[in-house]
Chains A and B, each alone.
Chain A
Amino acid sequence: GAVVSQHPSWVICKSGTSVKIECRSLDFQATTMFWYRQFPKQSLMLMATSNEGSKATYEQGVEKDKFLINHASLTLSTLTVTSAHPEDSSFYICSSRDQGQNSPLHFGNGTRLTVT
Chain B
Amino acid sequence: AQSVTQLDSHVSVSEGTPVLLRCNYSSSYSPSLFWYVQHPNKGLQLLLKYTSAATLVKGINGFEAEFKKSETSFHLTKPSAHMSDAAEYFCVVRNPNQAGTALIFGKGTTLSVSS
Hey, which bits of chain A sit against chain B, CB under 8 A? 6, 31-32, 34, 36, 42-46, 49, 51, 93, 95, 101-102, 104-105, 107-110, 112
Contact = CB atoms under 8 A, between A and B. Distances in A.
Contacts of B42: 109-110
A85 B29 CA distance: 40
B108 A101 contact: no
Contacts of B90: 43-44
Chain B interface size band reads 20 to 34
Contacts of B106: 43
B49 A46 contact: no
B29 to A, nearest CB: 14
Contact of A101 (B43, B45, B101, B103): B101
14 contacts: A6-B43, A34-B102, A42-B108, A43-B105, A43-B106, A43-B107, A46-B104, A101-B96, A101-B99, A102-B32, A105-B46, A105-B103, A110-B42, A110-B43
A45 B105 contact: yes
B110 to A, nearest CB: 9
A107 B43 contact: yes
The 3 closest A-B pairs by CB, nearest first: A109-B43, A43-B107, A107-B44
B51 interface: yes
A32 B43 contact: no
B43 A49 contact: no
A42 B106 CA distance: 9
Nearest to B97: A101
Interface string B13-50: 00000000000000000001000000001111110010
Given A93-B44, A107-B44, A109-B43, A102 B100 contact: no
